[in-house]
């Protein structure tokens, strides 16, 4: 599940796209979090981390706990899984089941919960370099997540900024590693450095069609264009998607203007859009690695699991425009983060509700309840 990449236009401006694949439909919420709030992150057994949110944030979120009649969900219960702040810094959470493992952090040390990384990064920093410096000072703890049946934060995280810099934060068996990302691409397992090494197997890739050749005295000619992509991996595995994402980000023609760049990025991300049923896993022979969220997931109505693209997002880091479409939609709606400057309280709307509106949706979100 999940493919992310950076695309740059002819002027070198970066645009970020990602898909999120699940076997279930979750109640994702689109949220605006204004600057100025005092935030708190708590890991059991450790002092809490408190920080001031110094940036406006637009994000796709998921509840951090199950609601009850006595304790309905509020904005503080929402965890950022995808978002961008007013400095053009992005954050994304992607599945990585190998993350969990033993960690050694003194019980007297204030530790940031991994589930709060998105809010902390987007709330406190403007650049990837600042994020790296912040992580060097702030311990981060993985935590068992009740919503995932007790799975220990099975994710890794990526950040991008307006300079085009990219960062991968990965917990491999509990140990945090921070990588600069020279290709701006991320999918899922294996580890990020493995994916970079694997690109050495694809030095032959080019976007130039070689449409004719000879075998002995026989001249052969392709009847169509597109042979250049024959060497790309065809599977939807994380390994195959990483190589394809690197290829499309590298070779897609550079748009001359921001609107054209967003359209180009949308075309790129279409290559990673997965409809239901394209690949299926039966319980007795499947991978068993699908994310289940008891109490929030839709009820399975099939005897198998099938991952599908729950939603796709596009981020214009220079103009701080955030585009989203969900599985039910062909068109994107977008939020202009800059237009929400000065809104002093959170705004939250269900993604499924916003997805019914194509085009500008900023005012809909502005009018939503916190």
Q: What is the pLDDT of residues 97-145, one digit of tens each?
A: 888 777 878 777 889 999 999 999 999 999 999 999 999 999 999 888 8
Q: What is the pLDDT of residues 4-47, one digit of tens each?
A: 999 999 999 999 999 999 988 888 999 999 999 999 999 988 99
**Rounded to whole angstroms, what are the CA distances from 180 to 47, 112, 189, 249?**
30, 22, 17, 17
Q: CA torsion 61→302→236→178, rounded to 10°?
A: 30
Those residues with Cβ within 8 angstroms of residue 316's Cβ, 6 or more apart along the chain or in another chain = 15, 258, 261, 262, 322, 323
pTM, 2 dp: 0.94
Average pLDDT over residues 319-332: 97
CATH of 3-366, picked from 3.40.140.10, 3.20.20.140, 2.40.240.20, 3.60.60.10, is: 3.60.60.10
CA proximity to 296, closest of 92, 62, 114, 80: 62
User: Do the Cβ atoms of 268 and 251 come closer than 8 Å?
Assistant: no
Q: What is the domain partition of the chain in residue ranges?
A: 3-366
Coil, strand or helix: which one is 130? helix
Distance CA 184, CA 7 (A): 8
Q: Give the pLDDT band of residue 147 (cuts 50, 70, 90).
A: confident
Residue 300 CB neighbours (<10 A): 12
Average pLDDT over residues 147-153: 76
With pLDDT > 70 as the criterion, what percentage of the chain qualifies? 95
CA proximity to 337, closest of 354, 355, 325, 320: 320
Q: What is the mean pLDDT of the chain?
A: 91
Q: What is the pLDDT of residue 37?
A: 95
CA proximity to 263, closest of 358, 320, 332: 332
Q: What is the pLDDT of residue 121?
A: 98
User: Do the Cβ atoms of 103 and 174 come closer than 8 Å?
Assistant: yes
Distance CA 12, CA 35 (A): 29
Q: What is the pLDDT of residue 10?
A: 98
List beta partners, residue 321. 316, 336
Q: What is the pLDDT of residue 106?
A: 75
Q: What is the pLDDT of residue 296?
A: 47
Q: What is the pLDDT of residues 264-310, one digit of tens each?
A: 999 999 999 999 999 888 876 655 555 555 544 455 567 788 899 99
For residue 208, pLDDT over 60 is answered with yes
Q: What is the pLDDT of residues 47-91, one digit of tens each?
A: 999 999 999 999 999 988 877 788 888 888 899 999 999 999 999
Q: What is the pLDDT of residue 297?
A: 46
Distance CA 155, CA 192 (A): 12
Find tokens 């394209």 and name the residue.
Answer: 278
Q: What is the pLDDT of residue 83?
A: 98
Q: Give the pLDDT band of residue 175 (cuts 50, 70, 90).
A: confident
The secondary structure element, H or E, covering residue 48 is none
User: Do the Cβ atoms of 27 and 65 come closer than 8 Å?
Assistant: no
What angle, rounded to 10 degrees, do the helices at 128-137 and 117-124 form?
Answer: 120
């Amino acid at each position: 599940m999940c493919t992310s990449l950076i695309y740059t236009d002819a002027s070198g401006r970066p645009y970020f796209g990602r898909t999120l694949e699940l076997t279930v439909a979750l109640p994702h919420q689109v949220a605006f979090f204004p600057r100025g709030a005092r935030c708190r992150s708590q890991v059991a057994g450790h002092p809490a981390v408190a920080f001031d949110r110094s940036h406006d944030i637009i994000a796709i979120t998921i509840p951090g706990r199950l609601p009850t009649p006595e304790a309905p969900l509020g904005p503080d219960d929402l965890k950022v899984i995808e978002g961008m702040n007013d400095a053009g810094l992005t954050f994304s959470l992607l599945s990585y089941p190998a993350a969990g493992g033993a960690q050694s952090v003194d019980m007297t040390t204030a530790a940031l919960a991994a589930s709060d990384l998105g809010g902390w990064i987007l709330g406190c920093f403007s650049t990837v370099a600042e994020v790296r410096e912040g992580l060097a000072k702030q311990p981060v703890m993985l935590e068992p997540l009740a919503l995932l049946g007790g799975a220990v934060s099975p994710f890794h995280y990526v950040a991008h900024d307006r300079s085009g810099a990219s960062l991968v934060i990965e917990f491999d068996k509990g140990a945090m590693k921070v990588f600069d990302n020279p290709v701006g691409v991320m999918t899922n397992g294996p580890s990020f450095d493995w994916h970079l090494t694997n690109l050495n197997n694809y030095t032959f890739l080019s976007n130039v069609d070689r449409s004719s050749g000879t075998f002995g005295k026989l001249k052969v000619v392709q009847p169509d264009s597109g042979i250049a992509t024959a060497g790309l991996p065809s599977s939807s595995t994380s390994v195959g998607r990483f190589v394809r994402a690197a290829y499309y980000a590298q070779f897609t023609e550079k748009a001359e203007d921001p609107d054209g760049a967003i359209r180009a990025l949308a075309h790129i991300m279409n290559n990673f859009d997965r409809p239901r049923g394209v690949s299926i896993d039966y319980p007795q022979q499947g991978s068993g690695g699908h994310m289940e969220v008891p109490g929030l997931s839709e009820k399975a109505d099939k005897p198998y699991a099938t991952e599908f693209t729950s939603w796709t997002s596009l981020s214009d880091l220079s103009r701080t425009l955030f585009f989203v479409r969900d599985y039910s939609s062909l068109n994107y709606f977008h939020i202009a983060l800059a237009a929400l400057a000065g809104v002093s309280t959170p705004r939250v709307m269900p993604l499924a509700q916003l997805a019914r509106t194509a085009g500008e949706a900023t005012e809909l979100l502005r009018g939503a309840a916190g």
